[in-house]
Amino acid sequence: MFFHRILLPTDGSATAQRAALVAADMAKRYGAVLEIISVIDPSPFLYFPDSGGEAMSYYLEASESAARQGIEHAEDAAKSCGVDFTSQILREHGPAPAIVAHAKQTACDLIVIGSHGRRGLDAVLLGSVAQKVLTLAEVPVFVIK
């Protein structure tokens, strides 16, 4: 099986950085294009207290900064492997459905994603974006722990 377009979702974490190195290496081996994305939920809070505007502004600035840093790291990995890439920040509700939809829209035939390896109560309460992507994706998903 050969891959032509590999999707790399990143949140800037150490796990996502490891996934970027693997995805860039895979893109080089297959001659594939690396599609780098970071997903920001534009309105994560349902209710704001009186200072909600400030909290929302802080959240959006911090999220945008983290997304840019994650993308820059992934771009550096792609450049070091000499592979073609595109990158963008998506503003969507729910990262997993946004990742899967983006893979479909851009005809990606592989998703490489980092997993934080949450277990126990953390996994139940926080969930796992990687697990949700595995469940929803119609293409192979390579999970990096």
- Coil, helix or strand at residue 106: coil
Specify the pTM: 0.90
Q: Which residue has the higher pLDDT, 104 or 1?
A: 104
The per-residue pLDDT for 54 is 77
- Across 52-56, 85-89, 134-138, least confident range: 52-56
Which CB contacts under 8 angstroms, 24+ apart, belong to 123-127? none
Residue among 93, 95, 94, 89 nearest 68 (CA): 89
pLDDT (tens digit per residue) in 95-110: 999 999 999 999 999 9
Q: Which tokens sit at 62?
A: 């911090």
Give the three-state DSSP class for 73.
helix
**Please, which pLDDT band fits residue 125 given cuts at 50, 70 and 90?**
very low
Q: Which domains does the chain have, with CATH numbers?
A: 5-144 (3.40.50.620)
